[in-house]
Amino acid sequence: MKKYLALVLAIMLVLPMAICFAGCGKSEGSVYYLNFKPEADAAWQQLAKTYTEKTGVEVKVVTAASGTYNEVLTAEMDKENPPTLFQCGNQGAIKTWGEFCYDLSGTDFYKEMTTDDFNLYGENGELLAAGYCYEAFGIIVNKALLKTAGYEITDIKDFASLKAIADDIHARAEELGFDAFSAAGLDGSSSWRFSGHLANMPLFYQFRDDKVTAQPATITDKYLDNFKNIWDLYITDSATTGAALITSTGDESEAQFGNGQAVFYQNGTWEYSNLTETFGMNAEDLAMIPIYCGVEGEEKSALCCGTENCWSVNKNASKEDIEATLDFMKWVVTSEEGTTMLAQEFGPCPFKKAKEPANVFFADANKYIANGNYVVTWAFNYTPGVDNWRAGVVDALSKYVSGTGEWQGVVDAFVKGWETQYQAENAG
């Protein structure tokens, strides 16, 4: 009887483990995700921890500092254990990293997708990067402060009306207790908002005029006066002005807006959770409007919508690590934990089980589109040598705001810098 009981006990202990190994889908490999969005690092770290606790599969998340992703990716790919999951956010990245990308067509992860609109493909139709969410950016508005200043959001229809209101608020800043714009900081934690997102405005309008469908070798200065319009407004009607902008950080700008020191703040949908949770702002007080810069017909523009959030899997990883990575990707887009995080941190996602984000900025994006306004697409996705080009723009903007350089330097950084980076990227 004792032997019998011992045998039964042994079976009872072993059986759950056997069932788990047979049915839990535990991979023998591991995942190394090189994330390019610093603002989402904490969320990815927690999600990785949760997945490892649930499955036993190791998931390592490394986040590149802002503006350094390509540099970090290059360095990491040369190591013995390179990333198994990384970002290819545009066709330029596909040109560089396409040979490292696993074809995601037909995978269980891909079968969860509801659209191909945000995906990136190779020359032979291979799915090399899958867009896992889409975002929008514009000018975030504190409607409560705007009302205190005597205005409604419907009063802002174009650049002229935006400037008139911002000028008035800035002139009365001491009286009101707040200013028009939060800091347009050029520190590395903030500069991408302008060398990337704000720079999108002149690029979009030129590319729309020229019907651009592939990365152009050159650009012109056609809409750079419009870029100057909005940039000058940012740096003059602001809580932080002058040379202090060179070292002003993203955290400083966010805090000025979140703490009620500014009415306007250029950023994107990803800021919603920070503003409502970290700073306790009321969702009903928040809205996002287009970036107006004085282009004819801009009153019919919508928000800037698109994505750089595209996953690629390293085809040179081991079979086990590829399988582990694909399993992790599927879990992220199907699980309660993963879909909740994506909705909170990123927004709408093109997957069957995606959650609707509780984010008023996406409601604003949809409202403009529903009204028939044209979407300002992410033209900056065509930027050659993106990190180097943006660094040149930031340097020129820094000299301009400090008074050590002229606006022509910014124009040259755009136009000549683009040609230089294109030639370097396409040499040989």
Delineate the domains of the chain, giving CATH numbers in brackets.
Answer: 28-131+310-345 (3.40.190.10), 136-306+361-425 (3.40.190.10)
Question: Is beta strand 120-121 parallel, antiparallel or unpaired with respect to 135-142?
Answer: unpaired
Q: How confident is the model at residue 284 (pLDDT cuts 50, 70, 90)?
A: very high
**Whether residue 319 has pLDDT greater than 80:** yes
Q: Can you say whether the dihedral through the CA atoms of 219, 225, 230, 233 is positive or negative? A: positive
- Whole-number pLDDT of residue 134: 86
Q: Which pLDDT belongs to residue 428?
A: 64
Cα-to-chain-centroid distance, residue 130 = 15
Residue 11: the pLDDT is 42
Q: How confident is the model at residue 23 (pLDDT cuts 50, 70, 90)?
A: very low
Q: Which residues pair with 31 in a beta bridge?
A: 59
Q: Give 53's pLDDT tier (boundaries 50, 70, 90).
A: very high
Summarised one tens digit per residue, pLDDT across range 358-385 is 899 999 998 998 899 999 989 998 999 9
- Kindly state the average pLDDT of the residues 36-40: 91
Q: Which whole number is the average pLDDT over 314-335? A: 98
* In the predicted structure, residue 149 carries a pLDDT above the cut 60: yes
Specify the pLDDT at position 247. Answer: 97
Residue predicted with more confidence, 393 or 362:
393
pLDDT at position 20: 40
The pair of three-digit structure tokens given for residue 304, joined into one six-digit string: 């800037």
Write down the pLDDT at residue 118. Answer: 86
- Predicted local distance difference test score (pLDDT) of residue 290: 98
Residue % of the chain over a pLDDT of 90: 80
Average pLDDT for 288-303: 98
pLDDT > 80? residue 159: yes
Predicted confidence (pLDDT) per residue in 54-97, tens digit: 999 999 999 999 889 999 999 999 999 999 999 998 888 898 99
Q: Is 70 exceeded by the pLDDT of residue 1?
A: no
pLDDT of residue 135: 87
Give the model's confidence band at 27: pLDDT under 50 very low, under 70 low, under 90 confident, else very high.
low
**Per-residue pLDDT for 9 more than 80?**
no
* Largest separation between any pair of C-alpha atoms in the chain: 94
Please report the sign of the dihedral spanned by the C-alpha atoms of residue 365, residue 367, residue 368, residue 373. positive
One-character DSSP codes across 19-51: HHHHHS---SS-EEEEE--GGGHHHHHHHHHHH
What pLDDT digit, counting tens, does each position of 345-364 carry?
A: 887 899 999 998 889 999 99
Q: What is the pLDDT of residue 21?
A: 36
